[in-house]
């Protein structure tokens, strides 16, 4: 079990719209394309970790509807083991994603539906799975009490714990103290610490603030600048690992987290795991979509080998 990755999080169906710009309030504009596909940070990270060679279990809630069918088909293709509570009184979540044509940058609205009702009892019912994992990951798209309790169970069982604090929120210090690793991007790091992150040096200051709150190690993801790893003993800036022209950045953070977890679960040193996560993200942004953009283990290893 200690090579197993357990992820708690949300599945949503991504409805992705490309246009030159977002509409203003009350305005209707014509878009250039539309894609429907699987998403949600927890689900995306599960797919990324499984595609990267991890043995993954994903804990979530779904409704009983066509979007739930999409979720199960997505996990089956990637090799993710679903740990699902069905919720017939709600709906499977959905997300609106605007993608700016010129840059590939995005803005997102999430309606988590059934996954927004993930409860402490859902987590406690799977305490053996969570506590017996090698690596446990959660985010903040589902209710925070469930994430907090899952981190407690994972830490008590000896799993290495990762919190991807997305979307940014006020996190209790006692919850941060349960995290072996925290993986915010620039805006999430600023939201948690109050420190604006524009440079690698800014990231180091934000990481220090997170370490002061009890986190074991802070990994600030910096987009095209790569990632900064900082713990009590070392600070390492890992450059981005480009794999081609950037098409869409929507799933990059999830790709990083899934790749990082997969490498950790195989016994990689944290710095090597960060490099593996950067390579995973580097490939994902060359493709459209979120879960469909996640690369295979062979692709990631080939990119890393090319950079040696």
Catalytic positions, written as ranges? 254
| Structure token pair of residue 44 | 């995306």
Q: Which of 154, 141, 205 is nearest to 180 (CA)?
A: 154
Q: Which of 292, 299, 302, 304 is nearest to 251 (CA)?
A: 292
| Structure token pair of residue 156 | 């008590």
* 3 state SS of 25: coil
Residue 15 half-sphere exposure toward CB, CA atoms < 13 A? 9
Q: How far apart are CA 258 and CA 281, in angstroms?
A: 9
Q: How far apart are CA 273 and CA 271, in angstroms?
A: 5
Q: Which residues make beta-bridge pairs with 39?
A: 12
| Structure token pair of residue 57 | 């279990």
Under 8 Å between Cβ of 284 and 294: yes
Phi, psi torsion values for 159, nearest 5 degrees? -70, 150
DSSP letter for 242, please: -
Q: How far apart are CA 278 and CA 242, in angstroms?
A: 9
| Structure token pair of residue 82 | 């679903």
Instruction: Return the percent helix, strand and coil in the chain, to nearest 5.
Output: 40, 25, 35
Under 8 Å between Cβ of 54 and 262: yes
Cα end-to-end distance, the chain, whole Å: 32
């Amino acid at each position: 079990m200690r090579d197993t990755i357990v992820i708690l999080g949300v599945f949503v169906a991504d409805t992705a719209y490309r246009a030159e710009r977002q509409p203003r309030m009350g305005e209707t504009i014509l878009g250039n394309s539309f894609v429907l596909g699987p998403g949600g940070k927890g689900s995306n990270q599960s797919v990324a970790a499984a595609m990267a060679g991890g043995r993954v279990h994903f804990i979530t809630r779904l409704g009983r509807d066509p979007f739930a069918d999409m979720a199960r088909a997505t996990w089956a293709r990637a090799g993710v083991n679903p740990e699902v509570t069905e919720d017939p009184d709600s709906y499977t979540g959905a997300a609106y994603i605007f993608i700016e044509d010129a840059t590939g940058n995005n803005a997102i609205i999430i309606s988590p539906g059934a996954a927004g009702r993930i409860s402490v009892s859902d987590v406690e019912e799977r305490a053996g799975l969570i506590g017996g994992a090698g690596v446990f990951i959660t985010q903040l798209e589902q209710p925070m009490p469930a994430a907090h309790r899952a981190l407690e169970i994972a830490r008590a069982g000896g799993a290495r714990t990762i919190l991807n604090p997305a979307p940014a929120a006020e996190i209790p210090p006692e919850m941060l103290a349960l995290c072996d690793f925290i993986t915010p991007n620039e805006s999430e790091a600023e939201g948690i610490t109050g420190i604006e992150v524009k440079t690698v040096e800014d990231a180091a200051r934000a990481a220090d603030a997170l370490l002061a709150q009890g986190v074991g190690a802070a990994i600030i993801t910096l987009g095209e600048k790569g990632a900064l790893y900082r713990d009590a003993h070392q600070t390492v800036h890992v450059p981005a690992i480009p794999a081609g022209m950037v098409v869409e950045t929507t799933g990059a953070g999830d790709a990083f987290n899934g790749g990082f977890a997969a490498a950790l679960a195989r016994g990689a040193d944290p710095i090597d795991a960060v490099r593996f996560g950067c390579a995973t993200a580097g490939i994902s942004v060359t493709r459209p979509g979120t879960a469909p953009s996640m690369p295979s283990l062979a692709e990631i290893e080939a990119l890393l080998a090319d950079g040696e």
